[in-house]
Structures are given as structure tokens and as C-alpha cells.
Amino acid sequence: MNSYPVVAVTGASAGLGRAIAHAYAKRGAKIGLIARNPEGLAAAQRECEELGGNAIYIPTDVSDASAVEHAASAIEEQLGPIDIWVNDAMVSVFSPVKEMEASDYKRVTDVLYLGFVYGTQAALRRMLPRDRGTIVQIGSALSYRSIPLQSAYCGAKHAINGFTDSLRCELFHDRSNVRLTTVQMPAMNTTQFNWVKNRMPHNTQPVPPIFEPEVAAEVVVAAGMAKNPRREYWVGSPTVNAIVAQRFVPGLLDRYLGKTGYKSQQIANEPRDPDAPNNLYDYVPGAHSARGKFDDRSKRSSAEIFVVLHRQWFAWAAFSLVGTGAMMLGLRSRR
Ligand SMILES: NC(=O)c1ccc[n+]([C@@H]2O[C@H](COP(=O)([O-])OP(=O)(O)OC[C@H]3O[C@@H](n4cnc5c(N)ncnc54)[C@H](OP(=O)(O)O)[C@@H]3O)[C@@H](O)[C@H]2O)c1
């Protein structure tokens, strides 16, 4: 891996994608920023340059396969061969299934699921002939455990897992050195909750506990730059709990989330403004940022994430402790 890698990030104009771009910029990376909103992208580019990176942006709708291919070509022409491709762009709709419109299901699937597929294919077209490179899929606890009111989003996130597993088998079959990893995220304080399409009576919120996106972005950088990234990274204890509980007690969770999931995803004292713009079919103008409006309720660090990032240290510490214990026991029994 190049010590100053070329990184493509979709969804880089705001939210987690913008935090990921910042985190790579701090390592001196060359970054291709992909999203629709030119003002948000230009602001992200400036921030990346200030942080020590070199960035360009290509306004692109990821639901258009040829536009994604064009963005990948532009990045390679201007920055060089892409080392890391991060699929992050998303849209969602907060609504019970019974009130969803068919066109909204199609749009979420086109952007979120197919956007990841097109991004992965654009990366593969370049990485496979070179036999190197890493593709990072941004996942979610909801990629394993669906919740009420977000059926289109949860369906697409599950589909990304399915697509990624198929591709991973094919890479093994072809003995490819192209790496593929998924980072499953917890709830984060991102811009999503300012502009997501919402049919509920109140404004939306991530299900607490909430993490700042910068905390999660560090895991994406570690995954992308690892020589041999793990198959998956589970970020934050809420993600671990949701995925493990889904394996063992899915029926219990269905009932629990049926009871709590409507309330926990809405801000009780904030009625929805019916005229508020949403980002489903077009971007919301403005420069925006990585973070949303939940700063006062968001965690800036996580012990579990620290352990995830430094697993080898902990393994060595445990190994040394066991070794020392065994030695002392041996000495005592000889005496
Ligand atoms: N926030 C959370 O609680 C949470 C939890 C778990 C996982 N995640 C994952 O984190 C990732 C980022 O989510 P987020 O919360 O940061 O979302 P966000 O704040 O809404 O940002 C979404 C990004 O995607 C871009 N985008 C939307 N539609 C697009 C399109 N058609 N073409 C290109 N770009 C498009 C947006 O930019 P433009 O509008 O400029 O196009 C923006 O840059 C997603 O994969 C999501 O599943 C988030």
C-alpha cells in the first residue's frame, strides 16, 4: 500500500463520508470526493487540503453507473491509481411499510444498494488488473438487524451484505489480492437526520447511544489501510450487541423493537415541518458538515472501538499475562 494512498469516497459531501475524507486527509492521502452537492463537496475539499491531504471532487449521482465510472476515471487521471474505494453514500425514508410509495423504495434501492454495487464495480475494473487495492463497504448494525420505519434502508443494507459475501467468494476463487471489508456502524451524529425523507409526525433521530462520526471514521481508515483487513469490523458495543442478539434471539428483538422502535427514532418534542426539504431525489443546497445536531448527546470516544483498533496489543497483553502466570505457578510447584 502506498504510504499516501489514493482514496475514493462516495457520500463525501456530508456526514460520515466527509469525516472519513478528513481522517484520510490527516494521513496525507489523495482523495476523490464523490456526492451530488458541489457546494458541500467544495467545502469538504477545502477542509481536506487544510488537514494535509490533496483532494478533488466530482459531482456524481451514485445511482447512475456510467457517472460512477466517469468519477473513477477522473480520480485516476488526476490523482493516480485508486488504492482504496469507500462506499458510503446513502438515502433513507422514515415511514411504516403500509405508507411507503413504490417509487421511494426504488429510489432508496437505486442509491444505497446499487450505488454500492456500481462503486464496487468501478473499483474492481481498476484493482483486479493490478491485483491490489481495498474496497470498504460502510455497513450498519441495521445490515443485520432491521428496525421499524426504515424498511427500504434496512433492505438495501442487508442486500449489500449479500452482494459483498458473493464477491468475497469470487475473489478467493480467483486468488485475487484485492481486499474487501465491511465496517458495520453504530448510530452516529451525522447530517442524515436533518434531511432524510420523513413521514412520521416528529423529526427523526439516531437510536441512542450516538457516536460522533469522527470516532467511526478512524476504523474506516484502519480497515482501508490494513495489509490484510478483517472480513468485518463491528464498531461500538451497540453494534456488537445488535448483531449477536439477532443471531440468538431474533423473535425477542422483533417484539422489543415493535414496542420501542417508533419512539426511539423520533424526537418527542420536535414536530416535523411538512415543508422541510429532503435529500431523496436531489441534494439539499448548502455547505453542510460531517456532524449533525446531536453534539451534546454524542460520544467522542469508545473503549470498545479502542480495543477493535488495537486488538493485537490486547492479545499480546493477555498472552503475556497468561505466560507469566503459568511461569509463576510452575516455579511455586517446583519449590
Ligand atoms: N448516521 C447513522 O446513524 C448511521 C448508522 C449506521 C450506518 N450509517 C451509514 O453511514 C453511511 C453514511 O451515512 P450518514 O449518516 O453520514 O448519511 P448523511 O449524513 O445523510 O450523508 C449521506 C451522504 O451521501 C450522499 N448522497 C446521498 N444521495 C446520493 C446520491 N444519489 N449520489 C451520491 N451521493 C449521495 C450525500 O451527499 P449529496 O446529498 O451531496 O449527494 C451525503 O454526502 C451510510 O452508508 C449509512 O448507512 C449511518
- What are the residue boundaries of the structural domains of the chain, listed by start? 6-301
Instruction: Express each pLDDT in 170-225 by its tens digit.
Output: 999 999 999 999 999 999 999 999 999 999 999 999 999 999 999 999 999 999 99
Instruction: Express each pLDDT in 230-239 by its tens digit.
Output: 999 999 999 9
Q: Is the CB of 88 under 6 A from ligand 1?
A: yes
Predicted pLDDT at 183:
98
Give the whole-number percent of the chain exceeding pLDDT 90: 89
Architecture label for domain 6-301: 3-Layer(aba) Sandwich (3.40)
17 Cα to the center of ligand 1, angstroms: 7
Nearest CA to ligand 1 atom 32: 61
Q: Which of 20, 192, 210 to mutate to test the pocket of ligand 1 (most atoms within 8 A of CB)?
A: 192
Predicted pLDDT at 42:
98
**Which grid cell is 81?**
491509481
Pairing state of beta strands 54-59 and 30-35? parallel
Q: Is the pLDDT higher at 333 or at 32?
A: 32
Predicted pLDDT at 112:
98
Predicted pLDDT at 295:
96
The CA distance from 127 to 287, in Å, is: 32
Radius of gyration of the chain from its Cα atoms, rounded to whole angstroms: 21
From 153, 233, 262, 281, the catalytic residue: 153
Longest dimension (CA), the chain: 81
Q: Is the pLDDT of residue 75 over 80?
A: yes
Pairing state of beta strands 134-140 and 84-87? parallel
Show Cβ contacts of residue 41 under 8 Å, excluding neighbours closer than 6 positions: 12, 13, 33, 35, 57, 59
Q: Is the pLDDT of residue 310 over 90?
A: no
Q: Is the pLDDT of residue 306 over 90?
A: no
The CA distance from 127 to 155, in Å, is: 28
Q: Is the pLDDT of residue 312 over 80?
A: no
State residue 249 phi and psi, 5-degree precision: -135, 60
Give the whole-number percent of the chain exceeding pLDDT 70: 99
Nearest CA to ligand 1 atom 30: 61
Predicted pLDDT at 330:
81
Predicted pLDDT at 194:
97
Predicted pLDDT at 16:
98
Nearest CA to ligand 1 atom 31: 61
SS3 sequence, the chain?
A: CCCCCEEEEECCCCHHHHHHHHHHHHCCCEEEEEECCHHHHHHHHHHHHHCCCEEEEEECCCCCHHHHHHHHHHHHHHHCCCCEEEECCCCCEEECHHHCCHHHHHHHHHHHHHHHHHHHHHHHHHHHHHCCCEEEEEEEHHHCCCCCCEHHHHHHHHHHHHHHHHHHHHHHHCCCCCEEEEEEECCECECHHHHCEECCCEEECCCCCEECHHHHHHHHHHHHHCCCCCCEEECCHHHHHHHHHHHHCHHHHHHHHHHHHHHHCEEEEEECCCCCCCCCCCCCCCCCCCECCCHHHEECCCHHHHHHHCHHHHHHHHHHHHHHHHHHHHHHHHC
Q: pLDDT tier at 308 (50, 70, 90 boundaries)?
A: confident
Instruction: Express each pLDDT in 138-177 by its tens digit.
Output: 999 999 999 999 999 999 999 999 999 999 999 999 999 9
Catalytic (active site) residue 281: no
What is the position in ligand 1's atom list of the atom closest to the CA of 283? 39
**Three-point CA angle 137, 287, 75, nearest 5°:** 45
Predicted pLDDT at 1:
67
**Which grid cell is 206?**
439516531
325 Cα to the center of ligand 1, angstroms: 49
Averaged confidence pLDDT in the chain: 96
Contact present, 62 and 68 (Cβ < 8 Å)? yes
Contact present, 41 and 119 (Cβ < 8 Å)? no
Instruction: Express each pLDDT in 242-280 by its tens digit.
Output: 999 999 999 999 999 999 999 999 999 999 999 999 999
Q: Is the pLDDT of residue 119 over 70?
A: yes
Q: Is the pLDDT of residue 316 over 90?
A: no
